[in-house]
Structure formats: C-alpha cells, structure tokens
Amino acid sequence: MEHQCNCCSKLCTSKIPLFQSLSLEEQKELISKTQHLDYKKGETVFHEYDPADKILVIRYGKIKINHYSFEGKEYVLDILGEGEIYGEQNIFGGKAFEANAIALEESGVCLISLADIQNLILKRPEIGIKILNVVGQKLSLANELVQLLSVNDAKARVAGFLLFRSNRIKSKTIELTRDDISAYINVRRETISRKLGELRMEGAIGLEGNRKVLIRNKDILRDVFENGN
C-alpha cells in the first residue's frame, strides 16, 4: 500500500551526487514533477517486471532489492539506504524492472520519471556522464559480490560479506537480519548465526541483538575471507 507524502522537507536530490551539479531551481523543477511516497515495513515499492519508467531515490529508511527463483527462494541483490538510487540503468533502454523493491522498515522514496531524467540529460549532458559512472560503480560492486559468492567456505563468505557491506555503506555498523544476510550470500540462516558467533569470539565483530553487527577488526575478517580460516 502506498502513502502519498504531503511534503518533502528536503529536496531528495540534494544528497545525490548525480544531481548536485544542478542549481537549486533546476532541482526544484525536477522535484516538482516527482512522486513523494511513504511505505510501511514490508510494503512493495515496485514489482519485478513492472514497467521500468522511473528512478527510485531513497529519502529515508531502507529498501531491499530482491527477486525470487521459480522455487520461491529469495535472492537479495542490494539493500539501499538514504540518498541512494535505483533504476538508473534503465535510462539506456530497460523496459521492465528486473527485481522487486520492498521496504525493510518505514521508508520514504521519490519516484522520478525516466522521461524527466532523459529530458534533463538533453539539457545537461554531464548528468548522462554521471549516470554512466554510477552504473559503472554498481557493476564493479556486482563483480565483487560474484567473487564473494564463489567462495565455498561459509565462514569466509560471511567474513567477506561483512567487509563488502561495510565498504558499501561506508560504516562499521551493519544493520541486517540474519534472513537478509542469508538471502544475500546464499548461506543458511543457522550457519550465519553460528559463524557470526565464531567471528565475535575471535574479536572480529561485535553483535547487538539479532540485526546489528559491529565491525571491530577488518584485518581478522580479511584474513578469514582470504584464507578460509
């Protein structure tokens, strides 16, 4: 269920590197054409195979990007936080979304139409170049994740994921449920809990509750990831 936001206290574009070269008036013009929506935990922003006719900008909260196999197994492709975007790859010809977007907690988003972005690129070609850079960065992250998933040792894969996620969000605090980590790296939930406990005992991480991991020592994590210890 969608909830229309009555106002947007800050411009969604103001924290997005993609749009920071725009003047305040240009940002306001773009935002004036934008949907500002709020979602409760568990609500769907868009479904896989919906028309890819918009870019998603996260105002607050967390949005999970996932898809399901024919057998119903969930695969998490990314988890986006405040200021991040999704859908920019579709500007260059995508016809449908390749994943679902689901709110992991109360979240607010801006939905900017591709038509408005494409018109903006015609007026400001540097925006198109920045979009290509964003796409390139995400491809690089996808390659890192593929490399991570090629590791067979479960503990090494968990350690590698913690490094990957910490670098991805530029924080030493990772807030994800065991189920989401499981869907991210294809390791059983019970195994993840056990390996996190081992890493905590070794001084690599701290644990707060069931959804917060604190990175204590990246060198230990890196050694486990590289050597499978």
pTM: 0.76
For residues 190 and 103, membership in a common domain is answered with no
- Residue 66 covered by a domain: yes
Please give the tally of structural domains in the chain. Answer: 2
Q: Which domain holds residue 220?
A: 151-227
Under 8 Å CB-to-CB from 225, ≥6 apart: which residues? 151, 156, 157, 159, 160, 163
Whether residue 178 contacts residue 210, with contact meaning beta carbons closer than 8 Å, is answered with yes
pLDDT reported for residue 1: 46
Residue 44 Cα distances to 54, 107, 131, 135, 179, angstroms: 15, 11, 25, 24, 18
Kindly state the tokens that stand for 18: 């993609």
For residues 117 and 186, membership in a common domain is answered with no
CATH number, domain of 40, equals: 2.60.120.10
Give which of 113, 77, 82 is closest to 10, Cα–Cα: 82
Cα–Cα distance between 182 and 193 in angstroms, integer?
A: 10
Residues 59-85 as b or e (16 or more Cβ within 10 Å = b): bebbbbbbbeeeeeebebbbbbbeebb
Q: Which pLDDT band, with edges at 50, 70 and 90, does 102 fall under?
A: very high
Whether residue 21 contacts residue 127, with contact meaning beta carbons closer than 8 Å, is answered with yes
What average pLDDT does the structure give for the chain? 85
Please identify, among 125, 159, 177, the residue that sits at the C-terminal boundary of a domain: 125
Q: What is the pLDDT of residues 34-48, one digit of tens each?
A: 888 999 999 999 999
pLDDT reported for residue 5: 42
- Residue 15 covered by a domain: yes
More confident residue, 134 or 40: 40
Q: Classify 56 as helix, strand or coil.
A: strand
- Residue 197 covered by a domain: yes
Give which of 82, 83, 88, 80 is closest to 117, Cα–Cα: 88
Residue 26 Cα distances to 11, 12, 20, 32, 113, angstroms: 11, 13, 10, 10, 15
CATH number, domain of 159, equals: 1.10.10.10
Average pLDDT over residues 194-202: 96
